[in-house]
Structures are given as structure tokens and as C-alpha cells.
Amino acid sequence: MAIRMIRKDDDDILRKISKKVEVIDERILTLLEDMKETMYDADGVGLAAPQVGVLRRVAVVDIGEGLIELINPVIVFEGGEAIDEEGCLSLPGINGAVCRPKKVIVRAQDRYGKTFEITATDLLARAFCHEIDHLNGILFTDKIIPDYKQDKE
Ligand code: NI
């Protein structure tokens, strides 16, 4: 395993569309391991392959409830809306309010190639949406609500 360099800021690769994984080979398994290690090392809750310079539809997420590996993830259901602050390991120092679905169902393959569906709400739903956006070259800063003030007691 190895910690990979996280691509940042205006690196062009963050704007490219990642390709579907057709075969889960050693390279993809190594990529998953490295992404996991890189995410934990950077204290992130998610990481998508383009963030480490690989244009493949692979992401890892852990919001503190355990690691979830996603290969070829797609959102098959979204419901509700929730606005909350987001950040990104590729955009250090930037935070902003983004509207995401409150609930999503994501379909993906695991490292064995088995297709699964996972239902997520709130932070986990947000993390899935954020990472899947990365696979399409979309950054959260594209979606920031300007001058949004959260109602906090
Ligand atoms: Ni990100």
C-alpha cells in the first residue's frame, strides 16, 4: 500500500470524466488500497480516483461508520433535499454550503465484482454524491450556494 499524492486546486484531471471499470484487476485492487490509505492519512471522509490522478470510476467513503468501497457507482434514487457545509481534500481551505439529496440509493460493485445497493441519508448521502460528482469532473465549489447562512442556535 502507498499514500498517493492528492491532486489539488486547478489540476486539470479533476475536471475530466472517469472511465468505467470493466475488469477488477490487481491495479484496481491496489488503487482501492492506496485510496483508502490516502483518505485516512488526510483525515477525509471520501476520496475519488481522479483525486489521485486515476480516471476510473472508483471511490472510497468512510464517515466514521466503516469503509465503503464503490466501483462504478450510480445513484439510482434520490429523495428530499438538505443543505450543509462541504469541503474537499482537493480544495484545501474552501468550505461552502451545498444542497444535496437527503436520501440516495447508490448501486455499485464491490471489489469482488458483486453488484450491491446501499441506502444512505444525510452525511453519507452527501459523501456519495460528492464522490460521484468527482467521477464526472464536478467539484463541490460548482454547487456552492452563495452567501448561504445556516440557521444555528
Ligand atoms: Ni472532494
Q: What pLDDT is attached to residue 147?
A: 83
**Domain membership flag for residue 5:** no
High-pLDDT (> 70) share of the chain, %: 97
**Domain membership flag for residue 4:** no
Q: What pLDDT is attached to residue 148?
A: 85
Domain that holds residue 91: 12-143
> Which CATH number do you get for residue 90?
3.90.45.10
**Domain membership flag for residue 55:** yes
**How many domains would you assign to the chain?**
1
Cβ neighbours of 147 (radius 10 Å): 6
Model confidence at 118: pLDDT above 80: yes
| Confidence bin at 1 (pLDDT 50/70/90) | confident
65 counts as catalytic = no
121-133, pLDDT tens digit by residue? 999 999 999 999 9
Q: What pLDDT is attached to residue 152?
A: 54
For the sheet with 46-48, list strands across it: 46-48, 58-61, 68-79, 103-109, 115-121
89 alpha carbon – ligand 1 mean position (Å): 6
20 alpha carbon – ligand 1 mean position (Å): 19
**Domain membership flag for residue 29:** yes
**Domain membership flag for residue 151:** no
35 alpha carbon – ligand 1 mean position (Å): 13
Q: What pLDDT is attached to residue 151?
A: 63
User: Which of 33, 37, 81, 131 does the annotation list as catalytic?
Assistant: 131
**Domain membership flag for residue 122:** yes
